[in-house]
Structure 1
Amino acid sequence: MNIKKVVAVALILSSMTAVSASAAEFNDIKGHWAEEVINELADKDIIHGVSDTEFNPDGTVTRAEFLKMALGTVGIADVPYRSGECLDVTASDWYGGCVQSALDKGLIPENMIGNYAAKITDGKAIYSGFFDGDKPIKREEMAYMVYMLYQYSCDEEESYNILTPVDLQFDDVSQISQWALDGVRYAYTNGLISGMDDDTFRPQQTATRAQAASIISRLLDKTE
């Protein structure tokens, strides 16, 4: 692995001032399907709650929030935000540095960027379009993005361990956007994501904090 260091990633899924707390202090995850994963990651200080006593497992996750924690999970640092060159991000946005880093490494799917355009000026890529960082992320977008991060984190030798994707058997596979289909297939085949108990994937549904924690746990297992 060319990036092995697992950093303490703040799962700031409600704001930049999320509260650090041990898993034992979250009183809203008892009996939740993701309780064990949340407990493990919270005890490692990898995820944070929205308060001292709440994790809000069924709350939504924005595109910028998921991008921030996914980059951190594989050790990719923010880079200085280049004012005026970074889509619809402004200098006052907390996620400017992680968006800039992801763009420079090609880790944001072009289909997640409205009116995407890029050009090289003085040896630098300058981007335009709309990332909509505060928009809740869809499950298909999260799956595609986590696979791109996993692929990026593999060195040449480990890339041979990436499994060839199988055909998806979800009852709602037809609802997966065409651009996202291969990414979802790779993510599923390589154990980065899973479907629902009713044999659906619900690709257009917005992801929850618990689902994001589950995916981060799987990404950690793959990249440690």
Structure 2
Amino acid sequence: MIIRKLTAYFVLIVFLTIPFQAYGTPSGFEGGVNNEYLYEEMVFVSGKPMKFSGELAISEGGRGDTETITYKYNLTGDDSTVKTKLTRSVTFSTNYNNRNDKGQVIGQTTLSKYSEKIEIGEDKYELEDFQFSKSDVIDKRPASDFYSGNFEGRKYYTINRDEGQVIVTISGGDVGYNNFWGSTETQIINYYITSNRKVTDEEGNQETVSWEGSAKVQVSDSLTKKLVYSENEATLSSFDGGYIRTTNREMVSRYDYDMPKIQNGIIDSKKRSSGKVNLSAEMVPKVERLVVPKFRDVKGHWAEEYITKLYSLDVFDESQTFFTPEIPMTRAEFIKGVIRACDIRPTVEQTSTARTSRRKQPPETSPFKDVKVEDKNYQYIKEGLEKGIMTGVSSVYFKPNDPLTRAEAVTVLIRALGFGNRAPNPGYYTYFSDDDKIPSWAKDSVYVAREIGILEGDSYNKFNPDKIMTRAEASAMLIRFLEFLEKDLQQDYRENIILYN
């Protein structure tokens, strides 16, 4: 558990590691943004757009397949001419139904506790009822989890206890992904607001004043890891420099609103107040130094940067001083590299530990005749097979030391992403000039890999499916794969939605 105690207007955030929630997710369903110090959101309950800011506390917990998360807000409005205060506490409970046969999880979220009070000038708004329901489907792929959901809700506020009511209807959806290299969740929230309030004129007559408004919020929370090379400032050193892995988290939000025109408490029925408000917040980056590669045969090589990056990330763990970039990459080496690049190692380690602890169980049998259980790459090959990333050349032979072809490499990467089904219906053309040479089992993967930018043809626009990949070429393809996980997914799940929706 990590606890940060902060002074007024600072944020207290409590994080626990629990399934599906250990990544960036916008706080609540209010469209607000926060960093370690400050939370901000727009409030429309009075009919006038107002920015509130202050403290946010987040606590998470869970047991079994159920997760709970509580948000507690203590905010004030940014308009110093008006007395304002907002206190809110909401607890969401999510139950996860694991469909292991489908590789998917269904999450069902409900609201278990709520309270909210808003003071704006002389008016007090109190939340009397809050109904909320949300459901997500999470597609668990080896390289990344992808999810999408929908939600509906309704808030019912009283105004000064008995002067009227405000009803806020909420609808929308979320999309997101989560992998070792980052995570992004983007929510699109639609608010429809109705207010009915009794007012007394100067002569003591009562009438009901009503208004309607709406707001659309697009809020995104992104966590990304990047590799940055840092030169060694010292001249007389055993190494020139090395890579730094920086973890950045940023939240952005855009409110588009259409509210009534209110002046001195009087609603202008002929005019509206419309506008946009953008909010953003960044966390302090986390910095990690990585191990320094010392290969003697990659200096000046066209793939030097790719090779050194992968070694720094422990994707390659050669202890020798020579990488031999121009020799063929083997099938066993590649599946090991992909699994390490996707950070599936914890599963491998747990499997290995469980295997050694089950002394009374029958000896484990390898699924392949040419890969022994004692082989140093056995757990990676087994993991690749169980997750559907890489199969054998037959039902009983894996051929671990055979050289890797381009068709095999691309197929493994697309299977790791789970994108094979994104290819068109059979009968399509991949646009490579040697399309007729691409084997049928690799064609879907080749098409998708080109579409998402991790594959290019040669100067003659040939894919060369049967060409043996060198260790240097395989390194370059792995880096493009990692860059897709790092950059392209964020672009699709954040910028493409918020900027173009």
- State whether TM-score is above 0.5: yes
Structure 1, gaps ≥5 residues long: 7-20, 117-128, 153-158
Distance in 2 (CA, whole Å) between partners of 1:148 and 1:86 is: 20
Find the counterpart in structure 1 of residue 457 from structure 2: 195
Question: Which of the numbers 388, 397, 411 marks the counterpart of 1:106?
Answer: 388
Find the counterpart in structure 2 of residue 119 from structure 1: none
Q: 1:53-111, CA deviations, whole angstroms, 9 ceiling, x for partnerless residues?
A: x32221111111100110111121323477324222212211111122122222224xx
| Larger RCO (CA under 8 A, 6+ residues apart) | 1
Shift of 1:138: 0.9
Distance in 2 (CA, whole Å) between partners of 1:51 and 1:198 is: 37
Distance in 2 (CA, whole Å) between partners of 1:64 and 1:36 is: 23
Structure 2, gaps ≥5 residues long: 1-143, 146-177, 182-290, 356-362, 487-501
Find the counterpart in structure 2 of residue 12 from structure 1: none
Find the counterpart in structure 2 of residue 90 from structure 1: 372
Contact 1:50-1:56 at 8 Å conserved across structures: no
Contact 2:315-2:340 at 8 Å conserved across structures: no
Cα distance change, pair 200–135 in 1 and its aligned pair in 2 (3 A): same
Shift of 1:50: 6.9
Shift of 1:141: 0.3
Cα distance change, pair 164–200 in 1 and its aligned pair in 2 (3 A): same
Distance in 1 (CA, whole Å) between partners of 2:385 and 2:429 is: 29
Cα distance change, pair 168–30 in 1 and its aligned pair in 2 (3 A): farther
Contact 1:83-1:90 at 8 Å conserved across structures: no
Q: 1:94-148, CA deviations, whole angstroms, 9 ceiling, x for partnerless residues?
A: 1111122122222224xx431x2xxxxxxxxxxxx11111111111000100111
Q: Based on CA coordinates, which of the two structures has the bigger radius of gyration?
A: 2
> What's the % identity of the aligned pairs?
27
1:172 maps to a residue whose letter is: D
1:194 maps to a residue whose letter is: E
Distance in 2 (CA, whole Å) between partners of 1:107 and 1:46 is: 17
Distance in 2 (CA, whole Å) between partners of 1:71 and 1:42 is: 14
Cα distance change, pair 51–5 in 1 and its aligned pair in 2 (3 A): same
2:383 maps to a residue whose letter is: S
Cα distance change, pair 221–68 in 1 and its aligned pair in 2 (3 A): same
Cα distance change, pair 45–113 in 1 and its aligned pair in 2 (3 A): closer
Distance in 2 (CA, whole Å) between partners of 1:94 and 1:43 is: 20
Contact 2:423-2:444 at 8 Å conserved across structures: no
Find the counterpart in structure 1 of residue 55 from structure 2: none
Question: Which of the numbers 68, 77, 80 marks the counterpart of 2:336?
Answer: 68
1:38 aligns with 2:307: yes
Cα distance change, pair 132–41 in 1 and its aligned pair in 2 (3 A): closer
Cα RMSD (Å): 3.0
Find the counterpart in structure 2 of residue 123 from structure 1: none
Cα distance change, pair 58–75 in 1 and its aligned pair in 2 (3 A): same
SS at match of 1:215: helix
Matches within 5 A, 1:53-64: 54-64=322-332
Distance in 2 (CA, whole Å) between partners of 1:210 and 1:85 is: 30
Shift of 1:30: 4.4
Cα distance change, pair 69–174 in 1 and its aligned pair in 2 (3 A): same
Distance in 2 (CA, whole Å) between partners of 1:41 and 1:138 is: 20
TM-score by length of structure 1 reads: 0.69
Which piece of structure 1 moves more, 31-40 or 179-188?
31-40
Q: 1:135-173, CA deviations, whole angstroms, 9 ceiling, x for partnerless residues?
A: 111110001001111228xxxxxx9xx975684232322
Find the counterpart in structure 2 of residue 220 from structure 1: 482
Shift of 1:220: 1.5
SS at match of 1:202: coil
Contact 2:410-2:446 at 8 Å conserved across structures: yes
Shift of 1:48: 5.0
Contact 1:73-1:219 at 8 Å conserved across structures: no
2:411 maps to a residue whose letter is: Y
Matches within 5 A, 1:1-224: 1-2=144-145, 4-5=179-180, 22=292, 25-47=294-316, 51-52=320-321, 54-77=322-345, 78=348, 79-80=351-352, 83-88=364-369, 89-109=371-391, 112-114=392-394, 116=395, 129-151=396-418, 167-224=429-486
TM-score by length of structure 2 reads: 0.33
Cα distance change, pair 202–43 in 1 and its aligned pair in 2 (3 A): same
Distance in 1 (CA, whole Å) between partners of 2:459 and 2:325 is: 18
